[in-house]
Amino acid sequence: MSTSVSPAGTAPAVRDRDDRVRTRSFTSRLLSRPEIGSLIGALAVFVLFAAVAPTFRQASSLATVAYAGSTIGIMAVAVALLMIGGEFDLSAGVVVTTTALTAATFAYQLRLNLWVGVVVSLLVALAVGAFNGWLLMRTGLPSFLITLGTFFMLQGINLGVTKLLTGGVSSSAVSDMDGWDSARAVFASTISIGGVGVRITVFWWILFVAVATWTLLRTRVGNWIFAVGGDSASARAVGVPVKRTKIGLFMTVGFCGWFVGMHQLFSFDSIQSGGGVGQEFIYIIAAVVGGCLLTGGYGSAVGSAIGALIFGMTSLGIVYAGWDANWFKLFLGVMLLLATIVNLVVKNHAAKR
Amino acid sequence: MSTDTHQRTGGPGHSPNTEILRLTDVGKSYGNVHALRGVSLSVKQGEITCVLGDNGAGKSTLIKVVAGLHQHTEGTVEVNGEAVRFTSPRESLERGIATVYQDLALVPLMSIWRNFFLGSELRTGFGPFKHLDVKRMMEITDEELTKMGISVPDLERPVGALSGGQRQCIAIARAIYFGAKVLILDEPTAALGVKQSGVVLKYVAKARDAGLGVIFITHNPHHAYLVGNHFVILNRGHVSLDKPRQEITLDELTNEMAGGAELEALSHELSVPGETPENAAGLTTARTTGR
């Protein structure tokens, strides 16, 4: 602790080190990691449900929890990168539905292999992201407003186009079409590990988080992401391509939205056109619980994964514990507040040492 | 980027007094507002050109033109005798013009070494596995900061946790390391205490001794006179004074800077009847004796 006052004013001789600064301890460095608050939270939630719900402790339940975490986490990692880059994307929830609808409808209407639909929907997802980013850089409006606009636009397109083509509120069933089996294997299969079925999204999720972490901490682009979120004017002044970085981040959100969309399509066969609304907040909350600052420039990809895992544990833990599932939202709100407060306290405490 | 080779290309012995940057009749208007009119300025190697002026005199606009944040609307900007028009800060940097801004020098939440190499990161590996050479960057940062006499607890520390003076020094050290030929300092001492200002001024002198041409923007004539070789005062977008050090004293500079005649008029206006307006009297005598 910094209770001992350093002997100020003694012997102002020339020396290498400033006598007012001391090296920081390992624990204070560890505590200054962005994901530490969420890690404590995740452990607390795990212990709670492991204690009250015996089923929660089974391996198959944990696999289900990991699956629930993965569908949120794949998006949350992209949203976290975007938030570190200083921006929001409110269209992140509906873009998932848009990509799934695009893939199904495109392939179905033109009687093509489903993989064509998959590729087309990827292009659509990247285009939505690029549009968000381009408009943001072009106008300088807050990303909150711009993506709120695209959120409503996509929602309208989802419902309108589906109604126009199918006359209903869901896309046509595509499970008998060419390419279903191979696409399902990639996006929605189950892999058995020691007798426990683990959904493939869990492995994709781990891969995406690993790639995102490596990119953030060990590549030039990662440096740029922190810089544009922390202070974009400074970043621009030292030659960081702010525009490209931010547009790239929005396109990453588009890419992950496409991935989750494909997962939904190939696990459920047909897609409800009104889906995805409200999910964007879940992604943002997972990122914030994981230590991302709302103001940008700070956060981690691993944190977003822990945030998503807390969601998975809570939503299923309540069921396993036999509680009324309606309490989930209350729990969510409490979790969010606690995690952000813990993050704040821990960060301030560590920064002072 | 092969940083080792192109740092300090112009050492102290390397053809001093060569003109690097020249502005001729540069003007900049924002719509109807003429922020700069007919400004001529010359920056030589191993010299410090001080640009002084009150708020709104056009100092910031002048740097922004040279740094590539804005484009001039009249006149010419020449780097090494070649007319240029920068459309981005990157272009200006590539010409060897580095700007250290008062407020937008560094990203506060990022660590010291990341800030030091921001925009010019060193990388190793190839293809998709190209990644930051963290070890080397930390070594170089440590070395450069030690050379400058800056002591930091650890290089992973966010820059926001450092003092204003340390931050300015890191930004200056960075500009020198990355082979700047012209260093533009935007009010580097404005928010600093006496001691910290002294430290920053020492680095400014070091940059000069390393053979850089320095543009030192300030509204403190005392700081300017400590290090400057040449003084330019801007007033409402015009150059109102342009003199080498030999032709001007600190008193004259202070007086010119304060607005000279304008201040005299002000002191009369503010003076209480029956009392001698001391400040103005002092300044006027200084002015008359100085001339």
Termini Cα distance of chain B: 52
Phi/psi of residue A7, nearest 5 degrees: -65, 90
The whole-angstrom separation of Cα B70 and Cα B87 is 7
Residue B150 CB coordination number (10 Å): 19
Give A4 or A209, the one with higher predicted confidence: A209
- Here the tokens at position B14 are 């390397």
Q: How confident is the model at residue A22 (pLDDT cuts 50, 70, 90)?
A: low
Q: Give the nearest partner residue to A239 out of B119, B153, B156, using CB atoms.
A: B119
Smallest CA–CA distance from A227 into chain B, residue? B107
Is residue A216 over pLDDT 60?
yes
Instruction: Look at residue A308 in the predicted model and tell me its pLDDT.
Output: 94
Residue of B nearest to A295 (CA): B109
Residue A48's alpha-carbon distances to A55, B61, B207, in angstroms, are: 13, 60, 61
One-letter amino acid at A247 equals I
pLDDT of residue B291: 37
Between A261 and B150, the higher pLDDT residue: A261
Q: What is the pLDDT of residues A326-352, one digit of tens each?
A: 888 888 888 788 877 877 776 676 555
Estimate to the nearest angstrom the gap between the alpha carbon of B172 and the chain centroid.
Answer: 9
Please give the residue of chain B at the shortest CA–CA distance from A16.
B151
Asked if B263 contacts B280 with a C-beta cutoff of 8 angstroms, the reply is yes
> Looking only at Cα atoms, what is the longest distance across chain A?
86
Up-side HSE of residue A26: CA atoms within 13 Å toward CB? 0
Q: Tell me, what's the pLDDT at B36?
A: 85
Greatest mean pLDDT range, B214-218, B234-238, B253-257: B214-218
For residue A10, name the pLDDT band (cuts at 50, 70, 90): very low
Per residue in B42-57, pLDDT tens?
888 888 988 888 777 7
User: Are the C-beta atoms of B256 and B234 separated by less than 8 Å?
Assistant: no
The DSSP secondary structure of A207-262, one letter per residue, reads HHHHHHHHHHHHSHHHHHHHHHHH-HHHHHHTT--HHHHHHHHHHHHHHHHHHHHH
Is there a contact between B185 and B49 (Cβ–Cβ < 8 Å)?
no
Q: Which of A228-232, A264-268, B275-279 has the least mean pLDDT? A: B275-279
So what's the pLDDT on residue B105?
64
The answer to whether the Cβ–Cβ distance between B131 and A238 falls below 8 Å is no
Q: What percent of chain B has pLDDT over 70?
A: 83
Asked if the Cβ–Cβ distance from B154 to A230 is below 8 Å, we say no
- List the single residue in B with minimal CA-CA distance to A233: B104
Mean pLDDT of A106-121: 92
Fold that domain B3-248 belongs to in CATH = Rossmann fold (3.40.50)
| Tens digits of residue pLDDT in B273-286 | 665 545 544 444 44
The residue assigned the tokens 């290089």 is B155
In angstroms, the Cα distances linking B1 to B97, B142, B179, B181 are 17, 19, 11, 17
**CATH code for the structural domain at A35-346:** 1.10.3470
Please tell me the distance in Å from A117's CA to the nearest CA on chain B.
28
- In chain A, what residues touch B195 (CB-CB under 8 Å)? none
CB atoms within 10 A of CB A127: 12
User: B154 and A23: CB-CB below 8 Å?
Assistant: yes
What DSSP assignment string belongs to A126-143?
HHHHHHHHHHHHHH---H
Residues B23/B41, Cβ–Cβ less than 8 Å: yes
Name the residue ranges covered by the structural domains of chain B: 3-248, 260-291
Give the whole-number percent of chain A exceeding pLDDT 90: 51
* pLDDT in the model for residue A13: 36
Each domain of chain A, given as residue ranges in start order, spans 35-346
The answer to whether residue B114 neighbours chain A at the CB level (below 8 Å) is yes
The alpha carbon of residue A300 is apart from the nearest alpha carbon of chain B, in Å, by: 13
pLDDT score of A5 more than 70:
no
Instruction: Decide which of B157 and B9 is more confident.
Output: B157
A240 contacts in B (CB within 8 Å)? 118-119
